Structures are given as structure tokens and as C-alpha cells.
């Protein structure tokens, strides 16, 4: 079975409970849509947990806009103010500063912009409608919102499964599935099983996002 997991944002306990609910076997695949860090209480714990999980279960880690901001600042020294505005302080506190982030840099560098599984296209933010997949701008793949969400059939031939934009409940449409349900804001951490679109959720404590 194939499970896709939405935005985590440092909410380790909720992630642990969700994975316990899914109870994946070594034959299952877990696809994470990005935004593992920032805003929530334990970004380092989330990254460590995911690295350990990948040693016993097939995993795919996509890049979210928060991983993109982290890499821009920590690796390239640019746009650090943008990252700070979007919750870097909680991440740096969790990792005990930039040095701790650098120790896990390989994890962030190895994240992918998208992943295909049959008729499903997994991506963090969405896609630019009318642009072939191979020509999509990486910026759009992690940042796009309204132009994608309010489009019809944005990537012909695929159902796009995405995070990034929080909804009160999972968005289930014929051409797109949105599973960021605002865990860090007190919503839910959500996963969807692609074979039958079964939804798995954990209620989140929230109150972390600043």
C-alpha cells in the first residue's frame, strides 16, 4: 500500500501517532509531502524520526517551501530573513543552532520536488497549469497556491496530491487531493492511502505557530 503524509512542521508526537495508526509494513511505501520543519516544537525530532523510519520502510521525502528556505539560508546564505519570517527560530532552537542543521543537511538536500506513482503526482505546493511536468519551475512546485488550487485539471492525466495550503478537512477532487489540514495550527495531521483514498488523521494540539 502507498500512503501520502501532509505537512508536519515539527509536530513529532502527532507524526508518531499517525505512523502507528498506519502501521506500515516493509512492503508499504510512505510518501511525505514536505514541510517537516519550522513553526512546531520539535523539527529536529521529526527529521531524526523520518531518517530512522526510512531504514525500515520504503520512504520518499519531497521538498516543501520550508526546506527550500532552510537550504537557501543555511547552504547558500541567502533569504535568511524570509526564512525567519516563516518560522526558522523554532527550527534553529530545536537543532541547537545552524551547526545542528548542517549535520542533517544531507537529508534536506536529498528531498525531491515531485514523485509519480501511477496516475498520482505528489508535490508539495502544486503545479503551474498548462506547463508540462518536466518544464515546471521548482519555485512553483513548492510555493504555488491559488493559480493551481482554483484551476481545472492542472496536470492532464494525473491526480495531483499536495500539501502546503491548509484546509479544514482534506480536499478530495477528481483532479487534485489536498492533505495539509493545519496540524501546527491546531488542526489535524493527515495521510491518504492511494489505493482506496482512505484518510488517516491525528488531532493536533496546535498553538505552536507564531
Which DSSP state fits 133? G
71 contact partners, CB below 8 Å, separation of at least 6: 108, 109
Closest CA to 9 of 128, 91, 104, 120: 91
How many helices (H) does the chain have, and how many strands (E)?
Answer: 9, 11
pLDDT tens for each residue of the chain, 210 residues long: 999 999 999 999 999 999 999 999 999 999 999 999 999 999 999 999 999 999 999 999 999 999 999 999 999 999 999 999 999 999 999 999 999 999 999 999 999 999 999 999 999 999 999 999 999 999 999 999 999 999 999 999 999 999 999 999 999 999 999 999 999 999 999 999 999 999 999 999 866 555
Among 137, 111, 128, 122, smallest CA distance to 176 is for 122
pLDDT, residue 208, reads 59
Gap between the Cα atoms of 183 and 208, Å rounded: 10
Per-residue DSSP letter, 177: E
What span, in angstroms and rounded, lies between the C-alpha atoms of 39 and 182? 11
CA 70/CA 9 separation, integer angstroms: 13
8 Å CB contact between 132 and 155: no
* Structural domains present in the chain: 2-203 (3.60.21.10)
* Residue (of 153, 150, 169, 166) closest to 121 by Cα position: 153
CA dist 189 and 158 (Å) reads: 24
Amino acid at each position: 500500500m502507498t500512503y501520502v503524509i501532509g505537512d508536519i512542521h515539527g509536530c513529532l508526537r502527532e507524526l508518531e501517532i499517525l505512523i502507528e495508526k498506519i502501521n506500515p509494513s516493509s512492503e508499504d511505501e510512505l510518501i511525505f509531502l514536505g514541510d517537516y520543519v519550522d513553526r512546531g516544537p520539535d523539527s529536529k525530532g521529526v527529521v531524526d524520526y523520518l531518517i530512522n523510519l526510512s531504514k525500515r520502510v520504503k520512504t520518499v521525502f519531497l521538498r516543501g517551501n520550508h526546506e527550500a528556505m532552510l537550504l537557501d539560508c543555511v547552504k547558500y546564505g541567502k533569504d535568511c530573513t524570509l526564512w525567519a519570517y516563516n518560522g526558522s527560530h523554532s527550527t534553529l532552537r530545536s537543532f541547537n543552532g545552524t551547526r545542528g542543521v548542517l549535520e542533517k543537511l544531507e537529508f534536506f538536500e536529498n528531498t525531491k520536488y515531485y514523485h509519480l506513482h501511477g496516475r498520482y503526482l505528489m508535490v508539495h505546493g502544486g503545479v503551474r497549469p498548462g506547463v508540462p511536468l518536466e518544464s515546471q519551475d521548482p519555485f512553483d512546485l513548492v510555493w504555488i497556491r491559488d493559480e493551481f488550487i482554483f484551476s481545472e485539471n492542472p496536470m492532464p492525466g494525473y491526480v495531483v496530491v499536495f500539501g502546503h495550503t491548509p484546509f479544514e478537512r482534506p480536499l478530495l477532487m477528481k483532479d487534485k487531493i489536498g492533505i495539509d489540514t493545519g496540524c501546527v495550527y491546531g488542526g489535524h495531521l493527515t495521510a491518504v492511502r492511494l489505493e482506496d483514498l482512505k484518510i488517516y488523521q491525528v488531532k493536533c494540539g496546535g498553538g505552536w505557530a507564531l
